[in-house]
A = this chain, B = another copy of it.
Amino acid sequence: MRNRADAPIGVFDSGVGGLTVARQIVAAMPHEEIVYFGDCLRAPYGDRGPEQLADFSRQIVDFLTAKGVKALVVACGTISARIFETVAQMTDVPIIGMVKPGVDAALTATKTGRIGVLATAGTVASGAHKAAISAKRPDANVFAVACPLFVPLVEEGWFDGDVADLVAKKYVSALENSGADAVLLGCTHYPLLACAIEKALPPGVAVIDPAIALADSLKGILAEQNLLREDGEKPTHQFYISGGKEKFDGILKMIFGQKYEAKIVKI
């Protein structure tokens, strides 16, 4: 029997954004194999209701479970913010979402206790980051800004340049008088716009990509359960999508290299 630690880590998202999370996992744990699912056909998830989000998540969890994953990463800001507990009930393997690691990292980074959150409209409306921050630090001030154009910008491939800079400036201007000294990227697409966002912020403000904290936290969980794969050949990852191959492959190759391409599956 294959050693359980040799099993892959399942990572899923509504689309391409979760690749920024997969990238950080691989950076932190280079011997781990990723099985990724991106539901590009049904993306974006932002405006969907909780029942539909749960239905989609169950299909994806079943798909990744059938691939024998040893752990699951909800690399989708919307699912993490809105139905993480529901999804956690769907599996027996360790599961981790975006909100907790991001919030922990933001609380570590802030000195003033004033934290900006950039996210999709749905994630902002969920209030998940605000609730998680307040639970740990009741005196903290959270300034959440919905940035609906960031996802389409990333999907268009306009990561930098004048449009990205201008749009980032518009959204970030809402934080101008907030005194926030840490800004949490509440959507997994946003790290691809990190340069534009950093340029738009005053110097000295920390920009938090939750994926870095998530990878670190996941590494701890796997080590604790003797599930960490620490040596052996560097694995080849697997990327599955429900559609939209051309757009996905473009960003996949940019992040993981030319040898990769996604396979379309019906789940």
Contacts and interface: CB of A to CB of B under 8 A. Distances in A.
Contact of A149 (B40, B48, B156, B243): B156
Nearest to A121: B247
B166 A162 contact: yes
**Which has the most chain B C-beta neighbours within 10 Å: A47, A49, A153, A158?**
A47
A116 B48 CA distance: 35
Instruction: Give the interface size class of chain A.
Output: 20 to 34
Interface in A148-190: 148-149, 151-153, 155-156, 158, 162-163, 166-167, 170
A244 interface: yes
Contacts of A47: 40-41, 43, 243-244
A149 B153 CA distance: 7
A249 to B, nearest CB: 15
Please state the number of chain copies in the assembly: 2
Interface in A114-167: 148-149, 151-153, 155-156, 158, 162-163, 166-167
A41 B53 CA distance: 13
Contact of A152 (B40, B49, B152): B152
A55 to B, nearest CB: 14
Contacts of A155: 148
Most buried by B among A48, A49, A153, A156: A156
Nearest to A146: B156
Nearest to A147: B156
Contact of A156 (B40, B49, B148, B244): B148
**Residue in A43, A166, A243 with the greatest tally of chain B CB atoms within 10 Å:** A166
Interface string A43-60: 100011100000000000
Nearest to A162: B166
A149 B152 CA distance: 6
Contacts of A244: 47
Interface of A: 40-41, 43, 47-49, 148-149, 151-153, 155-156, 158, 162-163, 166-167, 170, 243-244
- Which 9 pairs across A and B sit closest by C-beta, in order of nearness? A152-B152, A148-B156, A149-B152, A163-B166, A149-B156, A47-B244, A163-B167, A166-B166, A162-B166
8 contacts: A41-B48, A41-B49, A43-B47, A149-B152, A149-B156, A151-B152, A152-B152, A163-B167
